Structure 1
Amino acid sequence: MDPPANLSSWDGPLEPAAGLPGAAALGAVLSLLGAAGAAGNLYTLAVARAGAAPSALRGHIVHLALADLLYLAGLPFVVHNGLAQDWHFGEAGCRALLGLDLLTMQASALLLTLLSTERCRAVRRPFRAARRSAARRHALAAAAWAAAFALALPMMLMVRQEERVVGDGRARRLCVPTWDEAPHKTYLTLLFGTTMAGPGLALGYLYGRLARAYWRSQTQGVLGPRRRPRQRVFLPLFLIVLAFWACFLPFWLWQLVPLYSPGTAAHLPAATEIYVNFLVTCLTYTNSCIDPFLYTLLTRTYRQYLRARRAGRGGAQRTLSTGH
């Protein structure tokens, strides 16, 4: 039994029943998202290269922006697929585009977890975190990319191009996996665990510890007046994680629900299935457009936090030197 056809966001071009105007409108929306996302992430890279981002954040932001740009790189093929209602890029194109989708999703989740972990350490153990070298940060980021590639590789190896007859009797080329339903279900469940569930639990734990540290600093003065975490530092990072979840969770639910409840998808009209497929596609690309604004907010508030800490240390040193 073949797995469901909607195993990725891009292998379900608009059916003839959806009409060419619908395909053209979708192509226009996706093109605007791609242009906005590419411009925003290129600006983020330029800002980071110019040194405007604090060094403790620069590497993480560069890797996250690169992941967004790589994800957006497949968008022209998605738009062409929807307008042409056919896949013209061969089996190698299937493997490259599907692999790129899975690679960048997985890498973004792992990189966000690394970034959140480091910010948690910086609040709870600032002196130890300050000693962490840039080389170590880059090594951890490289490990995240390697893990993401290893997780995406099975789908890249198992996908193939085949022709299927659509509702109007026209043959159409599609990208589908070669494995049976059971291993396909297991693999997508694993990817959901490593992309959403696992990082979600880790991030929930980290933010729980940050919230506890913030509450203790405000109510008990445990960290001392100059080491109390600033709430505004956490908010942009929390918004980045929240945006990732809000944009990618519907995509993964759309992949998994037909696998675990086949009857649910079977009762959907064909046109509804097509439009839901492309709605979740638009959400995933919207994340790459939102991220640059959140990265800018994060670097600005983190610079303010560092200035406040330096000012606090300077005030303490002046107090000690004058004997007050």
Structure 2
Amino acid sequence: MESSVPFGMDINQSIAEEHFYFEHSTDGFGIAMATLYLVVCIVGLAGNSLVIIAILKLDRMSSSTTVYIFNLALADGLFMVGLPFIASQNFQNQWVFGDTACKAVMVLDGINQFTSIFCLTVMSIDRYMALAEPLRFTRWRTPCFAKIISAFLWLFSLLTILPMALHFSADRGLCMPDFVSDDWWLGVLSYTFVVGFALPFMIMTLSYVATLMTLRSRRRSTMPNHEGQRLEKQVTKMVVAVVVVFGMCWLPFYTLNFCSLYQSGLELTFARTFEFVVLLSYSWSCANPILYACLSDSFRKHFRTLLCPVAKASTGLQCNTGRFDLSGTSVRDVTILS
């Protein structure tokens, strides 16, 4: 199972040891969870691959926004690669891929998870700069600078998780960390919660609130009332969707990890709930491309451009497509593409 360390299957030692005493998960719940894991993996890979192709083929990372979205989609897509390994362990109650694969999956899982969250956080700041004072922050919002920031985020994610990921081993039949002490485990939980959830959540919330306040102020002073209200409503939906989905996918995950500290023994209900919230945390990587498709006119047009040849071949319909810019030149695209 994935655990409080945001890169995979670590739960406390008593849970790992008693996990062997449960019957093989071939009951209805086990089959249902295996199916859900497969669905999340396929949707996540397909959706994020579509985002990556759309950016490379139709936009070519012409703005800081699409550079961050590209790296976000890349991290989310790679995050899905570790899901079949975790699903296999959950379904079989054992790790069958060896100790080296255990460490490798945990490292890759952690890098991609942290990078995904960090990219989304930086994007919230980038969106605020684009709307608040675009001329002042122009030099900080070039594609070149965004690529440097993105490279730093990947490196920072590696340095953040590497010491913890190397504690993982498959010596006891499960890919799990070698526990040093209870204090060490509490420190890992607290550290990953702050770095992987609390700080990003706070920064995203503050950035989007500032964005909304700036938009409302500009509507009152410069925009026509009807257009301003429509734009503010759309941006509000985007802000609520991004923040709420992020919180719903990750808060239960961290909450149960802290609750595991007070578990003297493993109860079946707790174990199954834990397995579900792990899946919920992975579903975050599926949510991002769906949010793009639902909340961004530019991405909807890009997706339509990419998918139209397939639909045209199968249905014989004519497609109205064209080239669309993701560079965020209008206030609407600048705010919606977040």
Answer whether contact 1:94 1:159 (CA < 8 A) is retained.
yes
The equivalent of 1:277 in structure 2 is 274
Bigger CA drift: 300-309 or 131-140?
A: 300-309
The equivalent of 1:26 in structure 2 is 33
Which structure's CA Rg is the greater one? 1
Distance 2:64 2:228 in 1: 19
Compute the displacement of 1:239 (Å). Answer: 2.2
Distance 2:57 2:2 in 1: 45
The equivalent of 2:71 in structure 1 is 63
Distance 1:73 1:56 in 2: 26
Bigger CA drift: 59-68 or 205-214?
A: 205-214
The equivalent of 1:318 in structure 2 is none
Is residue 96 of structure 2 the alignment partner of residue 114 of structure 1?
no
The equivalent of 2:223 in structure 1 is 225
Answer whether contact 1:33 1:286 (CA < 8 A) is retained.
yes
Counterparts in 2 of 1:143 and 1:34: CA distance versus 1, 3 Å:
same
Is residue 83 of structure 2 the alignment partner of residue 82 of structure 1?
no
Counterparts in 2 of 1:198 and 1:173: CA distance versus 1, 3 Å:
closer
Is residue 176 of structure 2 the alignment partner of residue 175 of structure 1?
yes
The residue correspondences of 1:137-156 to structure 2 (distance < 5 A) are: 137-156=146-165
Bigger CA drift: 176-185 or 62-71?
A: 176-185
Distance 1:160 1:138 in 2: 34
Compute the displacement of 1:14 (Å). Answer: 8.4
Is residue 165 of structure 2 the alignment partner of residue 159 of structure 1?
no
Counterparts in 2 of 1:158 and 1:127: CA distance versus 1, 3 Å:
same
Distance 1:50 1:242 in 2: 31
The equivalent of 2:132 in structure 1 is 124
The equivalent of 1:134 in structure 2 is 143
1:53-111 deviations in whole A, cap 9, x for unaligned?
A: 87342111111111111110011112221232211122222222222332222212211
Q: CA RMSD in A?
A: 3.1
Compute the displacement of 1:5 (Å). Answer: 10
TM-score, L = length of structure 2: 0.76
The equivalent of 1:167 in structure 2 is none
3-state SS of paired residue (2:66)? helix
The equivalent of 1:256 in structure 2 is 258
Counterparts in 2 of 1:15 and 1:289: CA distance versus 1, 3 Å:
farther
Bigger CA drift: 150-159 or 176-185?
A: 176-185
Unaligned runs of 5+ in 1: 164-171, 311-324
Amino acid of the structure 2 residue aligned with 1:292: P
Percent of aligned pairs with the same amino acid: 22
Q: 2:249 aligns with which of 243, 247, 250?
A: 247
1:24-45 deviations in whole A, cap 9, x for unaligned?
A: 2211111111111111111111
Answer whether contact 1:98 1:156 (CA < 8 A) is retained.
yes
Bigger CA drift: 230-239 or 116-125?
A: 230-239
Compute the displacement of 1:237 (Å). Answer: 5.4
Amino acid of the structure 2 residue aligned with 1:36: V
Amino acid of the structure 2 residue aligned with 1:244: F
Counterparts in 2 of 1:107 and 1:5: CA distance versus 1, 3 Å:
closer
Unaligned runs of 5+ in 2: 11-15, 300-324, 333-338
Counterparts in 2 of 1:24 and 1:304: CA distance versus 1, 3 Å:
closer
Answer whether contact 2:95 2:174 (CA < 8 A) is retained.
yes
Compute the displacement of 1:15 (Å). Answer: 5.9
Answer whether contact 1:161 1:174 (CA < 8 A) is retained.
yes
Bigger CA drift: 61-70 or 205-214?
A: 205-214
Answer whether contact 2:67 2:147 (CA < 8 A) is retained.
yes
What is the aligned residue count? 291
Distance 1:67 1:199 in 2: 16
Distance 1:44 1:110 in 2: 18
1:162-207 deviations in whole A, cap 9, x for unaligned?
A: 32xxxxxxxx444222421212211221111111111122122212
The equivalent of 1:296 in structure 2 is 293
Amino acid of the structure 1 residue aligned with 2:41: G
Is residue 49 of structure 2 the alignment partner of residue 42 of structure 1?
yes
TM-score, L = length of structure 1: 0.79
Is residue 9 of structure 2 the alignment partner of residue 17 of structure 1?
no
The equivalent of 1:187 in structure 2 is 188
The equivalent of 1:266 in structure 2 is 264
3-state SS of paired residue (2:136)? helix
